[in-house]
Structures are given as structure tokens and as C-alpha cells.
Amino acid sequence: MTETKYLNFEASPLQDLFFKWRCQDEPLLKKAASPTRNLTEFFMNDIDWRFGLNNKKNRKKNMIIALFGEPGTGKTNTMIYLSEYTALNANKDFEINDICFSKTELLLRMKDKLNLKQVMKTKSQKERIELTRGFAFALDEQKRGNFGVGSYREDQEVKSIVDIFRKLQTFNCFISPELSNMNICHYFLEAIGIDYENGYNKCILYNHRMKPQGHIITKLASEALWHEYEEKKDRFIEKTVEQKDNIKEVNMLDNAKRLCASPLYKIAKAKQEKQNIIRMTYPNLSVTENESLYYFTTLIERAKKNNLSIDDEIKKELK
């Protein structure tokens, strides 16, 4: 069992204070965090029982874990370490592409790596177990789905992931509010602090009913994989910002086309009149956004006047 005597797990001073107050109000949480409730060995044995090479009984087992906690307490470090550990013990690889930042990316990665079509065609349960046992996937969701929570497309995405999680013998560890509420998790882990000096992370372990049972102490993710993770996350955030800018531009163009098609806007002549109509139609726009929308409408009107393609005219001006 991991020795805790000389370990010093810290979050921020205020986060530490909040956790102490929670322990005063919640006796079960206080007991779970105490040294007598170190369940690390039992937790790691549970992973080995499900996925380890010594498992000779071909048990049909998977493992689904949700992580949560305050920023900077080690959620991602724990997720990556446990995924690495599981895959290694099952003689499988775990690489940077197995850490996904959106549900769409996770679905595509699982389908690609596991060759799901072939797996689903396999009639022998023993073969199907061996084809998927011990592969690990991590979801560190950085943004909500592209289609919005509650939309049909988003609901289907979540349902597909849940179905795959349940059917395959994979280790799935994720930080995702929507999936955490889907009643599919074997365990929940709440990250409460990191000891950077000694290289350990501490999490409260909850059962599937979200009752605190004890805590686990794990090593931090390997330096190489952590470095790759940080680089991939930076690229993902940059791409997300670009997509938001593109989406904003597309929405602006759509709104401009609607304005140009409205009878009221068509009869307006002066710039001030048109901007007043824009302000009435879209009252929440800033002054800059109002000006941009007016600019798009002038491009559309010019394109129509000269019998040119609206999209081509706008692309030419925006170059």
C-alpha cells in the first residue's frame, strides 16, 4: 500500500480550507480522506482483476471511471496515469491519440483503434473479449459538444459512447459532466491535491452511488506523455478559438442575408437608418458587431447590384 507518512498533498490554500470545511460537515468524507482509508492497493487490484494478463477466466469486464475536482488538483494527471497503468498491465499500448478532448474525437478514436466493425461481427464472446480487453481511452472534455446539450445530435453522440463503453472490455476514464450523469460509472474519483515533490496525486474514491469510501494515491503521468498531452491541448484550444471565429463570421453573414431580404431593410437608404434597423433586429449586438453586420450587408447589396456571387464578393473583400 502506498506510504503516505511523508507525502504532502496540496491544492491552493483556499481550496484546502474549503475541503477541510467539507470534511467537518460530511463525516463520511472525513473518514474517506483519513490515513486508515487508503484503498490504493484494492483499487489497483480491481483494475488487474478486470484487465490483467493473469486473468485466465475471460471475464466479460470493463471499467468506467469519472473524475472531477477543483482546477489544479490533478484530475488529468490521475486519468492519464490510470489509463497508462491499465494498458501496460494488459500488454496494450496507450498513446497520446487515446487522450481525447471531445466526445466526437473519442468515438472516432475508439472505432479506429478497436476496428469496431470487425469486433461486432465476431460471434465468439471469448474472441471479442480478447480483441478489446485492456485498451484504455481517456476523455478530457475541454468544451461542450458542437451541437449543444440536449440537441438530437448531441444526445445520439452520448448514447453511442455509452453503448460502446458497456459492450467492450475497455478501460474508460473521463472528465465530462454529461457522461458523469449517465449512470454508467463503476467508480468516481475526486482529485483533492498533488505532491509534485514526490510525484503523487490523491483522490477520494466514491462508489457507483457517489458515496465516499476511501482514497487512492497514484503516481503522476509519465513526463513524456504529459508533455505530449500539453502540446495536444494547446493545439486543440487554438483550433477551437479559430472555429469559434469562423462560426461567428458565418453567423454574421447569415444574419446579413436575412436583413437584406427583409422589406424594411430594402427601403432604408441612409447608413443610419440601416444601422437602426440592425439595432432593432439584433438588440444584443455590440457597437462593433453592429458595424460589422452593416458592412456585410453592403457587400451583399453590392454583389446583387453587379450580378456577382455573394460568397465570392465577400471572400474577395475579406482576403
Structure confidence by residue, pLDDT tens digits, 56-94? 565 667 899 999 988 889 999 999 999 999 999 888 999
Secondary structure class of 14 (helix, strand, coil):
helix
Last residue within a domain, chosen from 221, 238, 256: 221
Q: How confident is the model at residue 146 (pLDDT cuts 50, 70, 90)?
A: very low
139: three-class secondary structure by DSSP: strand
pLDDT at position 149, please?
41
Give me the pLDDT at residue 5, please: 55
Kindly tell me if the per-residue pLDDT of 260 is higher than 80: yes
139 plus 181 within the same structural domain: yes
- Is 189 a member of any domain? yes
| Cα four-point dihedral sign 36, 37, 43, 44 | negative
Q: Please tell me whether residues 76 and 165 are part of one structural domain.
A: yes
Shared-domain flag, residues 89 and 181: yes
Residues 149 and 48 in one domain: yes
Residue 235, domain member (yes or no) = no
Number of Cβ within a 10 Å radius of residue 22: 13
Q: What is the pLDDT of residue 194?
A: 94
Question: What pTM, to 2 d.p., does this model score?
Answer: 0.71
Tell which wins on pLDDT, 153 or 178.
Answer: 178
pLDDT number for residue 188: 94
Question: Which of 171, 205, 221 lies at the terminal end of a domain, its last residue?
Answer: 221
Percent of the chain with pLDDT over 90: 33
Specify if 239 maps to a domain: no
Region 273-297: mean pLDDT is 79
- Complete DSSP assignment for 260-302: HHSHHHHH--SHHHHHHHHHHH-TT--HHHHHHHHHHHHHHHH
HSE toward the beta carbon, residue 114, CA cutoff 13 A? 30
User: Are 11 and 72 a contacting pair, CB within 8 Å?
Assistant: yes
Domain membership of residue 112 as a residue range: 13-221
272 and 213 belong to one structural domain: no
pLDDT at 65: 93
Please check whether residues 264 and 126 belong to one and the same domain. Answer: no
Q: Residue 206 domain-assigned?
A: yes
Same domain for 191 and 313?
no
Same domain, 65 and 133: yes
Q: Is the same domain home to 165 and 297?
A: no
> Does residue 193 sit within a domain?
yes
Residues 304 and 189 placed together within one structural domain of the fold: no
Q: How far is the CA of 16 from the CAs of 144, 198, 231, in angstroms? A: 29, 19, 29
- pLDDT tens per residue across span 303-318: 888 777 766 655 565 5
Instruction: State whether 290 and 210 are in the same domain.
Output: no
Domain membership of residue 291 (yes or no) is yes
pLDDT tens digits for 117-130?
676 667 666 666 66
How many domains does the chain fold into?
2
Q: pLDDT tens for residues 23-62?
A: 999 999 999 999 999 999 999 999 988 887 666 565 667 8
Q: How far is CA 144 from CA 129, 158, 240, 243, in A?
A: 32, 12, 11, 13
Residue 157 lies in a domain: yes
Whole-number pLDDT of residue 238: 79
Write the DSSP symbol of residue 6.
T
The answer as to whether 227 is a domain residue is no
166 and 290 belong to one structural domain? no
Phi, psi of 10, deg, nearest 5? -130, 140
